[in-house]
Amino acid sequence: MKLTYLTAGAAGMFCGSCMHDNTLAAALTRIGVDVQLIPTYTPIRTDEHDVSVDRVFFGGVNVYLQQKYALFRHLPSLLDRMLDQPRLLRWATSRGIEIDPKELGALTVSMLRGRHGHQSKEVRRLCKWLAHSARPDLIVMTNLLIGGCIPEIKRTQDVPVLVTLQGDDVFLDALTEPYRQQAMDQIGRLIEDVDGFLVHSRFYRDKMAAYFGIAPQRIHQVPLGIDTADFLPLGDPAQRPRLDRPRRIGYLARLTREKGFHILVDAFIELRRRNGFEDVQLYAAGWLSNEHRPWAEAEFAKLQAAGLQESLHYAGSVDRAAKLEFLSGLDIFTVPTTYRDPKGLFVLEALAAGVPVVQPDHGAFPELLQLTGGGCLVPPNDPMALADQLADLLNHPTQRQTMGSAGRQAVLQDFNSHRMAEGTLQTLQQFICRQ
């Protein structure tokens, strides 16, 4: 099989979707699939070896300028290629450029209109490249939001097109009106041109069927996995409980409201007010954008006002080696999201390190913890309940060890990248056979 996988860069930050796509592409390659991982908008950023090609379609600078200024919709291809240079896009995203939400909404709708939108020449360029250079047997897109080109792809070439659904609703629900409804209307028109949809959890399969009005039989659940090769092996002494230092609660995700960092801060302040938890420390790591910095600094200030500024250890955005070291030093892990996460990759990473997790009882988390036995669920958006559960686990080290070991073994055996690639390939082959 020759597979083209269109992923979406996230403007220089680590993004769960593009990290998943990169891991999957690498694992599919290892089992013999000819995969081309193609970035859109910006180059991807991943803490593993980047297997994407060194070119970008629908370059973020280009599509924005074409949206805002009619002149850029008619530039010669040479100038387009200059604007889509990965080096230029990396530089532009490193400047922390932010787009007004209203302009982002209009751009989203235009992209979903495909060859009828302001970026129509980008659609034609992609289709020409697919037909003459890539020539895939099957195309997978990382989400529906980049799917405006699907009708033109189906018109110009006879290949199945599948879409992975992994957070589309979170983005769409954040759009202001009238752009959200306009985007939903455009997606409603696109859905019939998609041959099939991929999801990673029963929760998201059911939610997307209702959200987009997709027939459930068109949505295929495929395995979720991470690359576990560089996690410490089972039985390594480093995985034993560490009793000679303060206990550590860890958080590894973007510092944003939707990831629930503020809920963890409130729970941590409550926990430290209780007797017997004076030693507990809060370790946090993850991307902090300029947009969210004032909000995050207000959360840091809450800890300072409670006299806990010395108990917070914020590592910033970490690379692969630093992430593995960060996780291996934790006693409990939690990312108490306010939204219903469709995957929960950070849960798998914590469990692979042998760290039990405490997660809100929504999204994909109940499924993950039922399948792995690696943690506990708490009511969503409830700092007091989170503090209670953290306190209970901190008081029971044997329970923590049992959960961490069970979760770790389950991830290494059943949620690794090889299992993910094999399961995904089985689903993709069904669509090749239908041709």
Asked whether 46 and 89 are in contact (CB, 8 A), the reply is: no
Mean per-residue pLDDT, 358-371? 97
| Distance in angstroms (rounded) separating the CA atoms of residues 40 and 61 | 11
Burial per residue of 286-318, b for 16 or more beta-carbon CB atoms within 10 angstroms, e otherwise: bbbbeebeeebeebbeebeebebeebbeeeebb
Give the mean pLDDT of 335-343.
96
Average pLDDT, the chain: 91
Percent share of the chain, pLDDT over 90: 77
Query: What confidence category does residue 243 fall into, taking pLDDT thresholds of 50, 70 and 90?
Result: low
Distance of CA 206 to the CA centre of its chain: 19
Residue 86 has pLDDT above 80, yes or no: no
Percent of the chain with pLDDT over 70: 93
More confident residue, 46 or 209: 209
pLDDT tens, position by position, 250-280: 999 999 999 999 999 999 999 999 999 999 9
pLDDT at 237: 46
Distances (CA, A) of 259 to 223, 263, 338, 339, 381: 23, 9, 6, 7, 11
Which residues have a Cβ under 8 Å from the Cβ of 31 and sit 6 or more positions away? Answer: 418, 421, 422, 425
Average pLDDT over residues 44-49: 88
pLDDT for the residue numbered 77? 79
- Helices 293-305, 261-273: axis angle to 10 degrees equals 0
The CA–CA distances, whole Å, from 257 to 17, 126, 335, 336, 424 equal 19, 36, 11, 10, 32
Sorted by where each starts, the structural domains of the chain and their CATH numbers stand as: 2-227+417-434 (3.40.50.2000), 237-414 (3.40.50.2000)
Q: Is the pLDDT of residue 101 over 60?
A: no
Under a CB-based contact definition with an 8 Å cutoff, are residues 183 and 175 in contact? yes
Quick: pLDDT tens for 131-151: 999 999 999 999 999 999 999
- Kindly state the average pLDDT of the residues 324-349: 96
CA atoms within 13 Å, Cβ hemisphere of 291 = 13
Indicate the range of 101-115, 181-195, 370-384 predicted with least confidence. 101-115
pLDDT tier, 304 (very low <50, low <70, confident <90, very high otherwise): very high
**What is the per-residue pLDDT for 168?**
93
Question: Could you read off the pLDDT of 29-43 as tens digits, one per residue?
Answer: 999 999 999 999 888
pLDDT value, residue 71: 84
Do residues 410 and 228 lie in contact, with contact meaning Cβ atoms separated by under 8 Å? no
DSSP letters of 391-430? Answer: HHHHT-HHHHHHHHHHHHHHHHHHSBHHHHHHHHHHHHHH
Pair 52, 39: CB distance under 8 Å: yes
What pLDDT does residue 44 have?
87
CA atoms of 327 and 333, how far apart (whole Å): 8
DSSP class per residue in 256-317: STTTTHHHHHHHHHHHHHSTT-TT-EEEEE----TTTHHHHHHHHHHHHHTT-GGGEEE--S
| Dist CA 32 CA 89 (whole Å) | 31
The pTM of this model reads 0.91
Is a pLDDT exceeding 80 seen at residue 87? no
What confidence tens digit (pLDDT) does each residue in 383-400 have? Answer: 999 999 999 999 999 999
332-333, strands of its sheet edge to edge: 312-314, 281-285, 248-252, 332-333, 357-360, 375-378
Sequence-distant (6+) residues with CB within 8 A of 83 are: 59, 61, 62, 65, 75
**Residue 421 CB contacts under 8 Å (≥ 6 apart), including other chains:** 24, 27, 28, 30, 31, 33, 225
Residue 29 token pair: 């390659």
For 289, residues 6+ apart whose C-beta sits below 8 A from its C-beta are 13, 96, 254
